Amino acid sequence: MAETKTKKGKKSGAKSNGVPKLKFNTGWEYAPAPESKTHIKLNDRYELFINGKFVKPLSGKYFETINPATEEKIAEVAEANVADVDKAVKAARNAYEKVWKKIPGSERAKYIFRISRMIQERAREFAVIESMDGGKAIRESRDVDVPLAANHFFYYAGWADKLEYAFPGRVPRSLGVAGQIIPWNFPLLMAAWKIAPAIATGNTVVLKPAETTPLTALKLAEIIQESGLPDGVVNIVTGFGQTGADIVNHADIDKIAFTGSTEVGKIIQKAVAGTNKKITLELGGKAANIIFEDAPLDQAVEGVINGIYFNQGHVCCAGSRLFVQESVYNIVLRKLKDRIETLIVGDPLDKNTDIGAINSKTQLETINKYINIGKKEGAEMYQSSCPIPGRGFFCRPTLFTNVAQSNRIAQEEIFGPVLAIQTFRTDEEVIEKANNTPYGLSAGVWTDKGSKIFNLTTKMRAGVVWANTYNKFDPSSPFGGYKESGYGREGGLHGLSAYLKI
């Protein structure tokens, strides 16, 4: 199609939300379809949420959170210091001892159901703010992050009064105060993963969101306040890594739940060793997606695209390594390259966008560093020719072929839209190659044969193995890793036991 004007008659390159509108690369052009921002409410400044109230930080300090697609400041956020963390832990302890551990599970459930419903009611607002603060495409925040977050609260609300049925013949007891630290890739969803099981089981919480994406956790605090949840049951303190460390090192915390990098996970593990704190760590990944020659190839290619380019590759379980059986390698590679060309990179708030903004300048630098390492190591790079906005942090979908097993791009977590492709001949060979990684969070298998699926899933050292699909989540199924991907499980029944003495 030689059309140069969009449906609305706007020329390509028109700006929406400050980000230049991009051209679809096959000659087609999409009219901008920006999600409206008129229905959202954001303050210029956010305080700490402690004991049911928004309070000024004792530190007196604030930091900015920006929109990574425009590099513009969205709001100022309080920076909690050690005294603020102490205040939050005291509030959580007080709420635990005086209220939360005493009330029946059926009462706890009512609040949690209410929080779930309120997230659903304000889903559009949450989705837009998530995309503005973190850079992810609105399609994902709207269809994945927000509904899953609401589902998580709903699911764990259902367990709150049935704990003795979850662990028959045993007496489950809450732990006390949980310190929870989350990353920037699924800000609201990670907050839900942490808070919902903790409070459903009768614990109270001090949660720290990541410094680049604090806003949806603070909007959740507003909902928690409106829901009437007793003061101090959930406290949200914002800040940098030091705020997280202050939570980890606080003497009156009974449990640490951390999701983030393996590097910080190791620091936390050391800090907690020798204390009575219970700990769960959900860390990095370097998942293998495996395509056999008998797989439905178009479906598999779509799954690979979803596995690595979804959420800009900012996914711990991203299928960042692809293994293709030699006999179908050429055709799969051609299909992948064709598909990558059609992906739209740009304004996260545009409903056409497939790949939004990279979360931060630092993360974009890390990704670019790895792209250069890949080239230097002798792997062959292919990048989509799509234009990217001049402002903000963006990365074209990228793949590498001629990758050796020892290459750093095949071993280390990049956390960006970069795929490393290798080939294999036999089942044994691919199992060995796929397991040859310090991580073990997830994997994907694409084949027509049920027997092959069973063979591989039992031999893959990964917490989750998807068969003929990828990146599918449900609150009822446990999630977590092996080896350097951490330990403990979140989700499902397993997620309950992480917050209980049984």
Contact footprint for ligand NAP (CB under 6 A): 181-185, 208, 210-211, 240-241, 244-245, 248, 259-261, 264, 267-268, 282-285, 316, 413, 415, 441, 481, 485-486
Dihedral of alpha carbons 387, 393, 398, 402, sign: positive
Active site residue 386: no
Nearer to ligand NAP, 258 or 292 (CB): 258
The answer to whether the CB of 291 falls within 8 A of the CB of 305 is: no
Helical residues (DSSP H) of 17-134, grouped into ranges: 82-95, 105-121, 123-134
| Minimal distance, residue 211 CB to Mg ion, in Å | 8
Dihedral of CA atoms 198, 469, 449, 293 in degrees, nearest 10, equals: -140
442 part of the interface to Mg ion, by CB under 5 A: no
Nearer to Mg ion, 196 or 215 (CB): 215
471 part of the interface to Mg ion, by CB under 5 A: no
Find tokens 């513009």 and name the residue: 72
65 part of the interface to Mg ion, by CB under 5 A: yes
Phi (first) and psi of residue 378, to 5 degrees: 100, 5
Q: How far is CA 211 from the centre of its chain?
A: 14
| Minimal distance, residue 356 CB to Mg ion, in Å | 12
CB atoms within 10 A of CB 241: 14
Catalytic residue (choose from 29, 125, 140, 316)? 316
212 part of the interface to Mg ion, by CB under 5 A: yes
Nearer to ligand NAP, 114 or 208 (CB): 208
CB atoms within 10 A of CB 152: 30
Q: β-strand 173-174 against 234-236: which pairing, if any? A: unpaired
Catalytic residue (choose from 35, 130, 211, 282)? 282
Nearer to Mg ion, 65 or 180 (CB): 65
Nearer to ligand NAP, 284 or 348 (CB): 284
d(CA 60, CA 80): 9
d(CA 156, CA 476): 9
384 part of the interface to Mg ion, by CB under 5 A: no
The answer to whether the CB of 253 falls within 8 A of the CB of 177 is: yes
216 part of the interface to Mg ion, by CB under 5 A: no
| Minimal distance, residue 64 CB to Mg ion, in Å | 8
d(CA 435, CA 443): 10
**If DSSP codes are grouped into helix, strand and coil, which group holds residue 433?**
helix
| Minimal distance, residue 281 CB to ligand NAP, in Å | 8
| Minimal distance, residue 497 CB to Mg ion, in Å | 34
| Minimal distance, residue 474 CB to Mg ion, in Å | 28
Binding site partner of 183, from ligand NAP, Mg ion, none, Cβ cut-off 5-8 A by kind: ligand NAP
Q: How far is CA 459 from the centre of its chain?
A: 26
Helices (H), strands (E): how many in the chain? 17, 22
Nearer to Mg ion, 174 or 212 (CB): 212
Find tokens 């031999």 and name the residue: 459
Which residue is at the shortest CB distance from ligand NAP? 244
- Show contacts with Mg ion in window 307-366 (CB under 5 A): none
Binding site partner of 133, from Mg ion, ligand NAP, none, Cβ cut-off 5-8 A by kind: Mg ion
d(CA 140, CA 146): 9
Q: Which of 133, 145, 211, 413 binds Mg ion (CB under 5 A)?
A: 133
151 part of the interface to Mg ion, by CB under 5 A: no
**If DSSP codes are grouped into helix, strand and coil, which group holds residue 215?**
helix
Q: Which residue stretch of 139-147, 210-218, 253-261, 441-449 sits at the interface with Mg ion (rule: CB under 5 A)? A: 210-218
Binding site for Mg ion (CB under 5 A): 65, 133, 212
Instruction: Kindly list the catalytic residues.
Output: 282, 316
